[in-house]
A and B are shown apart, each in its own frame.
Chain A
Amino acid sequence: MAAPVSGMAGSTSTGNATSFQKKPRRKLVSIPGTRPSVQNGQLLVSSGVSSLDYVIGGGLAVGTLLLVEEDRYDSYSHMLLRYFLAEGVVCGHELFLASARDHPDEIVQELPSPIVDDVAGMKISEGQSQPSDPENPDTMKIAWRYQNQPRYILFLSCSFSPLPVPYHALLKSIQTVIRKEGFDGSTPQSKVRNVLRLGLHSLGSVLWGDDVCCKDNPAHCHALTTFLYALRGLLRTSLSVAMVTVPSHLIQNRAVMGRIIRLSDTAIALESFRGSEKETNPLYKDYHGLLHVRQLPRLNCLSCEVPDTKDLAFKLKRKQFTIESRWFPSMAV
């Protein structure tokens, strides 16, 4: 639900109640790993990279979709995905990871561990080797790879679907997880409410059975956009947040890319310098690439946080992925 956590009390008056009625003290929902936004009270989660949170307005709103346009070799976008998942592990959120290229178990094994702050005395959670909560083995939602689900393919062959098989199966799988675990509020609250983090790697690539990346006039030109539309519907009606990476440098049709961006809420693009002439440009010697903020969401409000500058660059050091303004590097964004 992309709804504000508090503050909608005014709209629920039935009209019969007199204004002198004492409003019951509303218990603020407090889900671990989330905080309300200072602008509009929306529930935010961290993306795992604190400077990225700052750039996109404090964090990712629950119920929204973050689109990351991959850099050429999918190195930094993959890193952002891992940070996103690692943050979920540390906060105790549930994870759903889908990848058509690498086996999701491998991705999960390589999650970065949290930075330990000695002053705060934080306990090191076992982010790297044991991502699942040992008490409840189902907490780590299955990382799913479409090739292992032949029963979906059998089911769909008899009816015409607006989506190609892999996307359909993925969407069905996400919906099943949301319903089964009650993220949409359908099951009674027997356990503490939690947020579901969805990480979908490289949607639109050929490995997902989509040809939007290889042809100028793809046969499935509406597959990815229909999938994103349906995903948006699922996200808006549940306590989940999704991060999707798309190899946009392979998509020839700029109109399709524009539609994909508009169907997401927050959209950023990574442009890495590796292999390009910018690598040796002295202007960029401190950085590994540029970060473009394509779109910021305006949910439940008219205006959004407008950034100071749009010229952002990122660099990956051993411990941190930082995003800075290109022109004033001394001021961390």
Chain B
Amino acid sequence: MFPELNSILNSTPDSFKSSDFILVSDRRADASFLIHHHLSFYLRAGCKVCFLGLVQSFSHYSAVSQRLGVSLAQAREKGQLVFFEGLKNSIGVILQEDTSQETQPLSYLRTPGAGLEGLFRFVERSVRQSGDGYAGESWGPPVLLIDDLSVLLSLGVSVGAILDFTLYCQAAVCSELQGNVVILVRCEEEDADDDEEGSNLLQRGLVHQCNLALHVEGLPTGYCRDIHGQMEVWWRQGEETIYNQRKIFHFKVHDKGASFFARGTSSAVL
């Protein structure tokens, strides 16, 4: 959890907006540090988290969360965290060895044209599970985190199927259960994508669905060692505001967090 990002987004683990659909995207940069932020944020807030880790192993997230002060292994044991290991389970399905029921969520690997229904069923089951932790603890509103959605494009799933999946997730998690959804999408250069199947198309579709969009890019002026990039925060109009808001910050990622500052106020510049 990054305290500076909490103040930018005006949320704390004790009080945050519910039914929020947050889109994290990047273009030629790496926005996965924001996923680590949200993971530790919602675990600290006591929410029931369903994490679809499609590109990295559990030990990677565990190691980073350890530095941010949250133990994923404990959360998983207690039942607060449901972690879906995409990488580990995919090999069996791709090599067609594993046809058991447990690999139903990965049915998109067997027949890419089929869609993500199996994955959605898994998500639905995980977020609707009642809290049965120690001493019957019940968790807060459910949260769905996906890292990252655009890898499904590399595996042959169509943009339409992915957008259907996110719509279903939004309906189940945000509308019905008043939970939050945070999705990471990694995009290409604008001009590289002129066909139907693209991450840019996916990102544009999701931007219309979301309440809050965090977009990470490199600096427009080029590579800099001290400023790792810029992050654009976009808020959809809500009850208090009558127009969409947009702000741009520069950031630098450290070992134990990230610092955000207004453009031009980096310590390297001042």
Contacts and interface: CB of A to CB of B under 8 A. Distances in A.
Contact of B91 (A2, A3, A12, A175): A175
A301 interface: yes
Contact of A175 (B95, B153, B256): B95
A160 interface: yes
Interface stretch (B16-24, B108-116, B125-133, B165-173): B108-116
Interface in B119-169: 151, 153-156
A229 B192 contact: no
B63 A8 contact: yes
Nearest to B257: A302
Contacts of A303: 33, 228, 253-255
Contact of B94 (A4, A217, A226): A226
A328 B95 CA distance: 49
A263 B91 contact: no
A27 to B, nearest CB: 20
Contacts of A263: 151, 154
A310 B30 CA distance: 17
Given A263-B151, A302-B257, A254 B36 contact: no
B96 interface: yes
Interface string A213-252: 0000100001001100110111011000000000000000
Interface in A268-318: 298-303, 306, 308, 310
A262 B193 CA distance: 16
B71 interface: yes
Q: How large, as a class, is the contact surface on chain A?
A: 35 or more
Contact of A161 (B56, B71, B96, B254): B96
Contacts of A32: none
A1 B59 contact: yes
A159 interface: yes
A264 B71 CA distance: 27
A163 B67 CA distance: 38
A21 interface: no
A175 B98 CA distance: 14
Given A2-B57, A299-B60, A259 B95 contact: no
Nearest to A217: B195
B112 A232 contact: no
Interface in B197-236: 198-199, 223, 225, 228
Contacts of B96: 159, 161
A8 B67 CA distance: 11
Contacts of B32: 298
Contacts of B195: 217, 255
B103 interface: no
B90 interface: yes
Contacts of B255: 301-303
Nearest to A295: B30
Contacts of B193: 255
Given A3-B59, A229-B90, A302 B110 contact: no
Given A222-B154, A302-B36, A171 B94 contact: yes
Nearest to B85: A233
A308 B225 CA distance: 7
A66 to B, nearest CB: 17
B258 interface: yes
Contact of A233 (B59, B88, B156, B189): B88
Given A162-B112, A301-B255, A11 B62 contact: yes
Contacts of A163: 94
B50 interface: no
A150 interface: no
Contacts of B87: 229, 232-233, 236-237
B59 A302 contact: no
Interface in B26-50: 30, 32-33, 36
B186 interface: yes
A162 B110 CA distance: 6
B4 interface: no
28 contacts: A3-B63, A4-B63, A15-B74, A159-B96, A160-B111, A162-B110, A168-B95, A171-B95, A226-B109, A226-B154, A229-B87, A230-B94, A232-B87, A233-B87, A233-B88, A237-B57, A237-B88, A255-B193, A258-B188, A258-B189, A301-B64, A301-B67, A302-B64, A302-B67, A302-B254, A302-B258, A303-B253, A303-B255
Interface of B: 30, 32-33, 36, 55-57, 59-60, 62-64, 66-67, 71, 73-74, 87-88, 90-91, 94-96, 109-112, 151, 153-156, 186, 188-189, 192-193, 195, 198-199, 223, 225, 228, 253-258
Given A162-B94, A255-B198, A303-B253, 5 more contacts: A2-B57, A225-B155, A255-B192, A258-B188, A310-B223
Interface of A: 1-4, 8, 10-12, 15, 40, 159-163, 168, 171-172, 175, 217, 222, 225-226, 229-230, 232-234, 236-237, 254-255, 258-259, 262-263, 298-303, 306, 308, 310
